[in-house]
Amino acid sequence: MQTEERSTLPLPDEASGSPASPDAVVVLDYGSQYAQLIARRVREANVYCEVFPFDTGWESVAHLRPKGVILSGGPASVYEPGAPTLPAWVLEQDLPVLGICYGMQLLAQSLGGRVAPATEREYGPATIEVVGSSPIFADLPERLDVWMSHGDRIEELPEGFSALARSDNSPYAAMGRGHVIGLQFHPEVAHTPLGGTILRNFLFDICGCEGNWTAASFIDDAVQRIRARVGKDRVLLALSGGVDSAVTAALIHRAIGDQLTPVFVDTGLLREGEPETVREVFGRHFHMNLVSIDASERFLTRLRGVTDPEQKRKIVGAEFISVFEEAAARHGPFRFLAQGTLYPDVIESATPRDSKTAAKIKTHHNVGGLPEDLQFELLEPVRMLFKDEVRAVGRLLGLPEEIVQRQPFPGPGLAVRILGEVTPERLQPLRRADAIVRQEIEAAGLGNDVWQFFAVLLPVKSTGVMGDQRTYADVCAIRAVTSEDAMTADWARLPHDLLARMSNRIVNEVPGINRVVYDITSKPPGTIEWE
């Protein structure tokens, strides 16, 4: 199997310059859950990229002066009535175009080719054979391991196109005509080991990009955008203490200084020792007027009797806004509410603002969980970034590693790690079990190797034997995953002795739990969080 190294958004010592207008490529989203992974891979090549709905007009992307367009995959069939179409400007602008899966089929259909259901579908690993000459496959072997996910295939190429690759089930696994290229497979996923090289060939050899987008250029651009938008108005920042809101705070503070007021809300749903840690760390490293609010009682009251995870997320989102509105009345006025929203939050919530075709996986409290009558304008400067990109920006902004490498934690907190009703009685054992999981994984030296690790309290009880007595108590699940971007994840292969220590400590130290299980589900089909 071919492999390659993945890079992250580089710091200045890893790349030269911070251009005012870096090279850019546009991705049109046709509904793939992983469309934004294309953007991630493009940005790993130090080329700026934004994702737009498939029906976006040229006037909405022209300001980027894109050097190329990438068409994502999607769940539709191009020959079905109402299927997403190709905007006329994609071809009229005479830009290099790369169609991926549905994007390739759409190019073929739009230019006079024929797409039909395949006799055999291709889902999973496949091997393609390069049969044509194109810069897209420059310096690559003739046979490549790739990832396929399609039920349709191209039966007839459009005029002027030639076959560039084939597989056992796809006579046209890749096609090309000049700077218009189609790939039936997905180069953006990790299961296509040399997919990054293929994308870089498109970016550099076909689009002519220079790779001049860095963490420094992102910061410079973000600061300018914030200043231009905010002007002399004030900003209230929702500060959770995690890396996303911390970087957001640092960016906005660099742009507008004391016009920013960060507000930390103790929801009663935080991890053990977290409120104290947040206040200490940010008091030490941020010279800002931090407002700290204990709202634990009101959050728990609003969640009483609620078991549906979507309802939990929406309640938490609405209550956050209510607290912020009250804070604004006391400390304001504020025109803007700033949040550390990231790309994975956006795509999983699949709001109309961000995707017209993607299916909603779950509502993130800071995206789909916000009320319709929001009294603030949202300011989300890292909305287009992935977690590792945020960390690169944070390091350049001078944030300490204890913040930059902080374990991801959902906005609704432990409310979505308690399956069923959230009560103080259930929060206490979960909080302690979670602390044990974190302590043991970090003590084993795996804290930076595992993307995320935590405990979940299940809505079931099990029979046990403790001290020669029968027990009937709660079940705790341990979840630990590895990931590059949180869009896909695999369960972490933790050492058995580590799992044994965590299990032993939890059942002995946490009253009310008598059984521990380990989650070995990847994403997909699961999600990282249980709710």
Residues 282 and 352 reside in one and the same domain: yes
Q: Return the H-helix or E-strand segment holding 466.
A: strand 452-466
Which residues constitute the domain of residue 502? 423-518
DSSP character at residue 257: G
Residues 106 and 222 reside in one and the same domain: no
Residues 41 and 79 reside in one and the same domain: yes
Is 397 among the domain residues?
yes
Question: Of 206, 228, 252, at which residue does a domain stop?
Answer: 206
Residue 387 has pLDDT above 60, yes or no: yes
Question: Of 150, 182, 206, at which residue does a domain stop?
Answer: 206
pLDDT at 371: 57
Is 528 among the domain residues?
no
Is 11 among the domain residues?
no
Q: Which of 350, 346, 349 is nearest to 383 (CA)?
A: 346
Residues 287 and 363 reside in one and the same domain: yes
Is 2 among the domain residues?
no
Residues 303 and 234 reside in one and the same domain: yes
Residues 265 and 367 reside in one and the same domain: yes
Is 51 among the domain residues?
yes
What is the tens place of the pLDDT at every residue in 393-423?
Answer: 999 998 888 788 888 788 889 999 999 999 9
Contact predicate 210/132, CB 8 Å: no
Contact predicate 68/204, CB 8 Å: no
Q: Which of 367, 414, 368, 380 is nearest to 267 (CA)?
A: 414
The CATH number given to whatever domain includes residue 134 is 3.40.50.880
pLDDT at 368: 45
Lookup: tokens for 526: 């699961």
134 phi-psi bin (left φ>0, alpha ψ -120 to 50, beta other): beta
Q: How confident is the model at residue 349 (pLDDT cuts 50, 70, 90)?
A: low
pLDDT at 10: 53
Is 13 among the domain residues?
no
The residues that bridge with 98 in the sheet, in sequence order, are 70, 181
pLDDT at 300: 96
Distance between CA 233 and CA 414 in Å, rounded? 34
pLDDT at 521: 96
Residue 158 has pLDDT above 70, yes or no: yes
pLDDT at 448: 85
What is the tens place of the pLDDT at every residue in 274-332?
Answer: 888 878 777 777 778 889 999 999 999 999 999 999 999 999 988 988 998 899 899 98
Lookup: tokens for 304: 């009483």
- φ/ψ of residue 293, rounded to 5: -125, 125
Residues 145 and 236 reside in one and the same domain: no
Query: Between residues 350 and 308, which one has the greater pLDDT?
Result: 308
Question: Of 189, 206, 223, at which residue does a domain stop?
Answer: 206
Residues 134 and 172 reside in one and the same domain: yes
Is 308 among the domain residues?
yes
Contact predicate 320/339, CB 8 Å: no
What is the tens place of the pLDDT at every residue in 464-511?
Answer: 998 888 999 999 999 999 987 677 889 999 999 999 999 999 999 999
The CATH number given to whatever domain includes residue 297 is 3.40.50.620
Residues 32 and 106 reside in one and the same domain: yes
Residue 150 has pLDDT above 70, yes or no: yes
Q: Annotated catalytic sites, by residue?
A: 101, 186, 188
285 CB burial (10 A radius; 0-12, 13-18, 19+): middle
Is 418 among the domain residues?
no
Distances in whole angstroms, Cα of residue 31 to Cα of each of 34, 36, 91, 133, 348: 8, 10, 21, 30, 11
pTM over 0.75: no
Other Cβ atoms less than 10 A from the Cβ of 232: the count is 7
Total residues found in the chain within this entry: 531
The CATH number given to whatever domain includes residue 504 is 3.30.300.10
113 CB burial (10 A radius; 0-12, 13-18, 19+): buried
What is the tens place of the pLDDT at every residue in 214-242?
Answer: 889 889 989 999 999 999 999 999 888 78
Residues 256 and 201 reside in one and the same domain: no
Residue 6 has pLDDT above 70, yes or no: no
The residues that bridge with 379 in the sheet, in sequence order, are 338
Counting the structural domains of the chain, the total is 3
Residues 78 and 128 reside in one and the same domain: yes
Distances in whole angstroms, Cα of residue 427 to Cα of each of 42, 72, 308, 415, 505: 42, 42, 17, 8, 18
**Which region among 16-30, 208-222, 411-425, 434-448 has the lowest average model confidence (pLDDT)?**
16-30
Residues 318 and 386 reside in one and the same domain: yes
Q: How confident is the model at residue 348 (pLDDT cuts 50, 70, 90)?
A: low
What is the tens place of the pLDDT at every residue in 72-121?
Answer: 999 999 999 999 999 999 999 999 999 999 999 999 999 999 999 887 77
